[in-house]
Each structure stands twice: as structure tokens, then as C-alpha cells.
Amino acid sequence: MPDQSNQAVPSVPSGPEIPGNATAPEGISRRRMLGTAGATGLVLGVAGAAAGYAAAPSSAAAPLTSLGSERAMFHGKHQPGITTPMQARGHLVAFDLAAGSGRKEAAALLRRWSETARRLMAGEPAGTRDTDVARDAGPASLTVTFGFGHSFFGRTGLDEQRPAALDPLPDFSSDHLDKNRSNGDLWVQIGADDALVAFHALRAIQQDAGTAARIRWQMNGFNRSPGATAHPMTARNLMGQVDGTRNPKPADADFDERIFVPEAPGSGKAGPVWMANGSYAVVRRIRMLLDDWEKLSLKAQEDVIGRRKSDGAPLSGGSDATETTEMDLEKTDASGKLVVPINAHARITRPDQNGGAAMVRRPFSYHDGFDADGVPDAGLLFICWQADPLRGFVPVQRKLDRGDALSQFIRHEASGLFAVPGGASEGEYVGQRLLEG
């Protein structure tokens, strides 16, 4: 099970709540105010992250609301933002190193970025150029995650350290990729349960880049806010479908093996030493053709997915089936027709139909407005995590290419693959073992 030190640390106020945008009482620092955040509370997400405990509250100051006070740890065995529960707001941004920037400049940049991420995730100001955007807020489950693209290694003279697993993804028939919104030397994933906290981090990261790197592309996403449903449940995407069923969970016996690069070199699946405890992120901007999708009847939509829209239960289950009911791929109806269609998305993506291929899907929805005809530019910022994309994402996507019923309602418009090293220890910055090894 992954190190839980980078999981969200929840808290529940022990006294009357103050609004999330309230300021600390006079004479009480923002850091001290954050430190008063209450006793315990359960945080639930589709990745199955465990709950943690915050420090006991101080009687000297009122706590933040539980949502604002939830904190993820920057330092840990793995980087945050992989097994952290899904957040309400996300930003993805890729950078290219500027002309003349090399290994030295990249190391200085990652050092700056790591310190900024550490401070912001603790609810502290970014530094001397803090914009005050999140001045009145707590950490709000902020996570900042850093990765390296294929081109980064050539630009820094580190070609020999490039993992084989970072080889470019193959072409897929469903690709309609915009190269200007794909790949990049460096990748940053930002997530938080408050939009201002997330933007504050995005702005700080962009400012820290200075003259060392320039933004290649940037995308904004969102999910349902924590506590918006009567009970914890898997998120829905913009098609209205439950999205994230059968996601691997940290409690699974083989979770680490499937999602994280092992520490021991020579283990068969291990990459370079600097990638120990890291993971690989495949990022895809998938546009949903919602006008076409919404013309389908409910039954047609459910046949495309292979699950009930209401609760995510498999079509092969009875009226009492739930989202977690095992799917019966051989079940037929009275006429002998398969209940779960042969090209249903849920059938094709099952690990047992793909040689055991597994990945943690941790996406954000996006909406970038409407065109002149009122067609929404909306869909999914698909992010999946695995120990090896050649054994995770690639075989599943190849099979989807060959006959997924959902393919006619989506379009892959941007793509990237990034090596995300393990977490930084106290006193280290992310990527230090690569850049200074």
C-alpha cells in the first residue's frame, strides 16, 4: 500500500465553523490559524485513499471549515496527486525549457517549484511574490505534481537516463491530436477543492518558471465538490455516466506493483534508479461529442457503456445489482443476445480482457465554451497512472481502437506521456536524484 503521508489530512472543526473566506482574528497568523484545524474526519474518493488525522485544535483560535483545512503532504514516498482523493478543481500545464536552458537551469527550476509547492500545500504564502489570491483560505487539499516529458532528457543532456517506458505513445486511429497542446518538456498537475487555491498555485508555478521555461499548453478542469452528494459515490462525467468504476485501490494487494515503479533495480519492471516509487502519467484531452450523445435514448447510452446510467451497475446484473456487482460477460437475454454488448466500453476496458492491464484513472472534466453553432467544447481531461504505460494504457487503448462503441461519441484531441518520479524527502526537491545523480 502506498505511503499514506501524501494523502489528504482531513479535519472537522471542534467549534463553530467560520466561512471559508473569513480572515484570521487579529494577532493570529494564517499558519497558526491553519494549525488549529480540528480533530478527525473521513475523506472519501474514487481512488480509495485512506483517512488521516490532523493535530488537536487549539483553544486560542477558531478552526477553518473542514473543507479548507484538509491538507495533503508534499514530502513522501510518492508524489501527491496520484492516490489523493479527486479534487473539485484542476489545472494541467506543460512547459518547454527556454533556449539556452539546460540541466543547471532545470535543477534550479525544480528546486523553486518544489519549495513553492511545499509552502502552498501547507497553506503558507508562496513566497516574496505571493499574489494574495488564496490569502483567506486553507490548503483545501491542494496537490502539485511534477513530471518529465520525453524531450526533457535531450534538452538537459540526460538521454541515458530516459526510461524506456517514456518512449512516445503509438498512433491510435481515434487520434485527432493538436501537437501544440500535446507533450512538453515538463508537466505540472495542480488539484484543489477550492478554485482560488488552485489558481493561486497555477500562477505561482508560472511565475517561478521565470526565464527558464515557457508555457507550452495549459488546461483547466473540474469535478464534483466534496460533500455535494447525499453519500460518497464515484464521480460522473459530462455524459452523465458514473466514471471510475473498478479503479484499482491502494488497499489492493497488487496496487503498488501495477501503479508505481519498484525500488529494486533489476526487478524486471524497474526503470532508472531515479524513478523508484514514481509512476507514469498518460494525459489525454478527450472531447465528448455531447450533441450526438444526448440524442441517444437511455437504453442506447447504457448499451454503449455496458452499465446502467442511474447507478453504474452492470447491465448483466438484476434490479438489486450495484456498481460493484461483478459483470457477467456471457449472460444473454431471452432472444440469446448478449446483455452486455460485445462492443460495450465497460466490456472492452476490463483488465481481464486486456491481459491484466490496469491503471488508476484520475480525470477532470472540462468545458472551454461553445462554438458559433452552440456546440460545446467539453469533455474529459483523462489522466491515468501506471507503473508502465506499455502494460497499462497502450494495450487498452489499442483494443478500444478496434471496436469500442463509445469511440463515435468522443475525439482524442491532445496527448502526453510523462515520467513522474517518486516523492521528495525532507530537504530534497522533486527530480533531484535525476538532475544531481
Catalytic annotation present for 243: yes
Find the catalytic residue in 194, 208, 243, 388.
243
Determine what percent of the chain falls in helix, strand and coil, rounding each to the nearest 5.
25, 20, 55
Nearest to 209 by CA among 125, 132, 113, 126: 113
The amino acid that residue 243 corresponds to is D
Query: CA angle, 158 as apex, 156 and 164 as ends, to 5°?
Result: 130
- Residue 197: left if φ>0, alpha if ψ -120 to 50, beta else—which one? alpha
Cβ(330)–Cβ(340) under 8 Å? no
The amino acid that residue 429 corresponds to is Y
Is the dihedral angle over the CA atoms 174, 176, 182, 188 positive or is it negative?
Answer: negative
DSSP 59-128: TTSPPPPHHHH-EE-SSSSS-TTSSSPP-SEEEEEEEEEPTT--HHHHHHHHHHHHHHHHHHHTT---ST
Catalytic residue positions, numbered: 243
